[in-house]
Amino acid sequence: MERIIQLPLNAQESAGLRTGDRVLLSGEIYTARDAAHKRFMALLDEGRPLPFPLEDACIYYAGPAPAPPGRATGAAGPTTSCRMDAYTPRLLSLGLRGMIGKGSRSPRVIAAIVEAGAVYFSAIGGAGALLARRVLAARIIAFEDLGAEAVRRLLVKDFPAIVAVDSRGEDLYRTGRKAYLDSEQRAGGRC
């Protein structure tokens, strides 16, 4: 059973999530990939505001494709999250509460997630067209010159994800691998 989460994601809601929880996210999320994160750091270094409020925000590591007729966006699948690891601790320290992507995170990011009381969600890679159906509205809010990597505000309804790293630092990528290897060992290495 999925847990329904209304965004923005507050500290109490984040603290109640556990690794492996399946969730349906509804509300505002912001897309940002590598190029946008580099620009975020430049803005912060200059003492300028980011293009959206970070407090309790959720960033989706995605670069949606152009919208076909009748849709808010084209395919909107997650990108590999570790590419944002160099920037993530700073954003978490400034109030970022959630991130959506795919793949594991570094120990440094996991420590920053714990310190911030945040959460990292995984979305299904390769399912961008299906995930796009959960996007009700999309609007570029910054860095339009980046094309697909421009920062967008998305309004989502029942966007499916799994808690991959919870606010206690439990990491599904680590525990999932261990559970798989343990089951393989019990089965004598057979699939």
* Best CA proximity match to 45, nearest among 87, 77, 9, 74: 87
Q: What is the pLDDT of residue 52?
A: 97
**Is the residue at 123 inside a domain?**
yes
Strand partners, 142: 151
What pLDDT does 134 receive? Answer: 95
Distance from C-alpha of 127 to C-alpha of 131, rounded to nearest angstrom: 6
The CATH number of the domain where 20 resides is what? 3.20.130.10
As for how many domains the chain has, the answer is: 1
149 found inside a domain: yes
Question: Domain span at residue 96?
Answer: 3-186
pLDDT of residue 175: 77
What pLDDT does residue 128 have?
86
Q: Are strands 98-101 and 119-122 parallel, antiparallel or unpaired?
A: parallel
CA gap 50, 59 in Å, rounded? 13
Can you give the pTM of this predicted structure?
Answer: 0.91
Provide the greatest CA pair distance for the chain: 58
Mean per-residue pLDDT pooled into runs of 10, the chain (191 residues): 93 96 97 97 98 97 93 93 97 98 96 98 88 95 96 97 97 73 58 48
Question: Coil, strand or helix: which one is 182?
Answer: helix
Residue 191 lies in a domain: no
Domain-embedded: residue 153: yes
The verdict on residue 167 lying in a domain is yes
